Every structure is written in structure tokens, then in C-alpha cells.
């Protein structure tokens, strides 16, 4: 995902953004960010607090303007747009929020009708009814936000964001205030909308599980820079950057068990020792009994220390942390790599 503007739903082209500080200096919120969001995808941007996610997302509907570079939505330069052109771009970009941002004085129907009223649309009622049906709230259409659960409020937020038939939906931590079960139902609704309407969804999150469950493409942002971007499956199976690895450790069994973490050293000690390696199984190899082959064909016994099988979209992959005789480590890794697995030496235990 580089800054290729051809056909992308959203293109960030060498974006920089600085904010003035109280003491007169500048905060660099974003530096040289280039990213293309393919149309019709769900793309996730993950980063820690303060990484620059919100600033980046808010540029897509012109709530923030870049200090340098361009943001294109459907080929139109958002930062340069003013007046009627900016309003037109904004109609193409819906947004949902962590805290829903509903009007407490309006019912479910009233909240969903609002963007249509602002746009001066006619014959609003059937459109509102259709949107309410899509998000499964027909029975609750006359309730006020205070009478709804968090998940129901987010459904109202989604219906409201869809009211003007946008081409792009921005999601700002839309499930962060919800419990895990409700998160799943809201993510399933977003996936359904993406599928049925062909809508491009760009979401920001600090949870790798959200990216895993819904996003086909992803980018990792750290300190205002994109450190890794691509297809979610590729990044989950071959993470390159330490920040990506640290996000992944929460969801993929990549964490060393405590009894090994306390003893592991980076350099192989003299004498007999065990090499600790992480093996990533992907695609067609995901379920192959490679470890038993290692033992039966090469005669190398393997201790399994930790592991998990994951799914990214429809694709399975697994991570195992194993230890084996350090003397045979190179040979074992070469064998596994020859059979399509990825290995990484994590260290040694004497
Ligand atoms: N209006 C502003 N004025 C000054 N600094 C700002 C402003 N908005 C953001 N920043 C700074 O820019 C950086 C990026 O902030 P941003 O809100 O984009 O991060 P984030 O990744 O969305 O974080 P979080 O997950 O905590 O919301 C931070 O250092 C923040 O303090």
C-alpha cells in the first residue's frame, strides 16, 4: 500500500501534520505518511495512544488539514477543497465514533434522519425506515439514546453514518467502549455492510483482534509514521516491525511463557543448550504435522512451549514456540523453512 493514486478509495500522499505547542514549538503528529486504501476493503490502522491515528482519520473528511502532502478521496483533494466541494466530499464520507455522538433529545429515528434533514433530502421517512431495518433496530425506533445499550447506540451511529449513502465509512475506535460480545456483533454488522454495499471502511483501533476479525488490509502507525502496511494475513504471518510484533503478542500466542522468559539469553551459551524458536505456520502448511516429521525423519525431539492457531478472515495460521537441541537448531530450521514454514530464533536456554 504505497501512495498509488490510481483507483484507491483513499490516498494519503506524503502527509505531514504539526500542531503548535504552547511553548512556541511544534508537535509533529504525522510525518511522511503514504498509504493507499483499496476500494471496497476494510482497512485497519492500528497504533498506540498518541501515534497519530485520529489525526490521520480526521483528514479524510477534512476535520484536520495536512501541513504538507495530500489526502485524496475518490481522487479529490480533501485538504484543498472548500465550501460546496468540501460538503460534497463529506457526504461521501460517513463516520462512527467510540462514544456514538448521538443527540440525546432525538429518538433513534430522529438521529438517523438528521444528516438527511441537513442535506435537504425529501421523502426522508422510507429511507430512515430502511436504514433502521438494516441495523436491526425497527422495534426500538422510538426510543431515546438513554434507553439503549452501547451496542444499540452504535447501531444508530452506523445507520446515521450510512444515511447519505457514503462511499467511505470512517470508524474511530467504534467498538472500544463495548464488551467483547457486543464488539463481535457490531463488527459483524460492519462486515455485512462492507460486503452488501461495497463500502470502503477505514477504521482506527488499538486492538489487534479488531483488525484480525474484520480488516483485509492494515497499517501500523507509530510515532506519526507508518511502520508497516499490507494485507492483514501477510502481516500477521510475517510481522516485520517490533511494534507490530508487540501488538500481535496479545492475540497470537507469540508470548514466551514466563518460565522461559526468565531464563532465555540472546547468545548461545557454551556446552549443551536448547534453542528456542518461533515457528509460524501459514496457508496450506497451517495444519501440517511438521513437528512430528522433524522428529521421525531427522530424529530431532521438539518441546512445545506455547502455541495458538489463529484465523485471519478465512485463512488459518499458527504460531508455535518450541525448544530443541541447539546443536541441531540450524538443521531443524532449514528443514522447516524448506517445507514452507517461517522460523525465528528467540534465544537460548542453558
Ligand atoms: N489539536 C491538537 N493540538 C496539539 N496537539 C495535538 C492536537 N491533536 C493531536 N495532537 C497531538 O498529535 C499526536 C497524535 O495525536 P492523535 O490524537 O492523532 O493520536 P491517536 O493515535 O489517535 O491517539 P489516541 O488513541 O490516544 O486517541 C499526539 O502527540 C497529540 O498530543
ipTM given for this complex: 0.96
* Residue 55 CB less than 6 A away from ligand 1: yes
Q: In this structure, which residue's CA is closest to atom 16 in ligand 1?
A: 52
pLDDT for res 2 = 43
pLDDT for res 252 = 65
* Residue 54 CB less than 6 A away from ligand 1: yes
pTM: 0.84
Report whether 71 contacts 12 (CB < 8 A).
yes
Nearest-10 Cα torsion for 235, 206, 246, 344: -10
pLDDT for res 159 = 98
Rg of the chain over all Cα atoms, to the nearest angstrom:
24
12 phi and psi, to 5 degrees?
-100, 120
Consecutive 10-residue averages of pLDDT for the chain (350 residues) = 64 96 92 97 96 96 95 94 92 95 97 95 96 97 97 98 96 95 96 95 95 95 97 89 86 74 91 92 68 88 84 78 94 90 90
Ligand 1 centroid, distance to 54 Cα (angstroms): 7
Which residues, listed in sequence order, are joined to residue 37 by a DSSP beta bridge? 10
Contacts of 274 (CB under 8 A, 6+ apart): 303, 323, 324, 325, 326, 348, 349
- Report all structural domains of the chain as residue ranges with CATH numbers, in order of start: 10-92+166-249 (3.40.50.300), 258-349 (3.30.70.260)
Pocket probe for ligand 1: among 52, 222, 224, the residue whose CB has the most ligand atoms within 8 Å is: 52
pLDDT for res 259 = 83
Ligand 1 centroid, distance to 159 Cα (angstroms): 28
pLDDT for res 294 = 86
Residue position matching grid coordinates 460517513? 94
Amino acid at each position: 500500500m504505497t501512495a498509488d493514486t490510481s483507483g484507491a478509495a483513499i490516498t494519503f500522499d506524503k502527509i505531514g501534520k504539526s500542531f503548535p505547542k504552547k511553548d512556541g514549538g511544534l508537535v509533529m503528529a504525522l510525518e511522511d505518511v503514504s498509504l493507499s486504501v483499496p476500494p471496497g476493503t476494510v482497512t485497519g490502522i492500528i497504533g498506540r495512544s498518541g501515534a497519530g491515528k485520529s489525526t490521520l482519520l480526521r483528514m479524510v473528511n477534512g476535520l484536520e488539514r495536512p501541513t504538507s502532502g495530500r489526502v485524496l478521496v475518490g481522487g479529490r483533494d480533501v485538504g484543498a477543497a472548500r465550501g460546496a466541494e468540501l460538503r460534497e466530499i463529506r457526504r461521501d464520507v460517513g463516520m462512527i465514533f467510540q462514544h456514538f455522538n448521538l443527540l440525546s433529545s432525538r429518538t433513534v429515528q430522529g438521529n438517523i434522519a438528521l444528516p438527511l434533514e441537513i442535506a435537504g433530502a425529501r421523502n426522508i421517512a422510507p429511507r430512515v425506515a430502511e436504514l433502521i431495518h438494516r441495523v436491526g433496530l425497527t422495534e426500538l425506533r422510538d426510543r431515546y439514546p438513554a434507553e439503549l445499550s452501547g451496542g444499540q447506540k452504535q447501531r444508530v451511529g452506523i445507520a446515521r453514518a450510512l444515511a447519505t449513502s457514503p462511499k467511505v465509512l470512517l470508524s474511530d475506535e467504534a467498538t472500544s467502549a463495548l464488551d467483547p460480545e457486543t464488539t463481535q456483533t457490531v463488527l459483524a454488522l460492519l462486515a455485512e455492510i462492507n460486503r452488501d454495499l461495497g463500502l470502503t471502511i477505514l477504521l482506527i483501533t488499538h486492538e489487534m483482534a479488531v483488525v484480525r476479525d474484520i480488516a483485509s488490509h492494515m497499517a501500523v502507525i507509530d510515532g506519526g509514521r507508518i511502520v508497516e502496511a499490507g494485507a492483514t494475513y501477510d502481516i500477521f504471518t510475517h510481522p516485520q516491525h517490533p511494534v507490530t510484533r508487540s501488538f500481535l503478542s496479545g492475540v497470537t500466542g507469540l508470548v514466551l511463557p514466563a518460565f522461559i522468559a526468565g531464563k532465555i539469553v540472546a547468545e548461545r551459551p557454551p556446552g549443551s543448550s536448547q534453542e528456542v524458536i518461533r515457528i509460524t505456520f501459514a496457508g496450506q502448511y497451517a495444519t501440517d504435522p511438521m513437528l512430528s516429521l522433524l522428529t521421525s525423519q531427522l530424529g530431532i525431539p521438539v518441546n512445545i512451549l506455547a502455541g495458538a492457531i489463529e484465523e485471519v478472515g478465512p485463512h488459518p495460521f499458527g504460531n508455535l514456540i518450541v525448544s530443541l537441541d541447539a546443536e541441531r537448531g540450524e538443521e531443524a530450521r532449514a528443514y522447516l523453512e524448506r517445507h514452507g514454514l517461517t522460523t525465528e530464533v528467540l534465544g537460548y536456554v542453558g
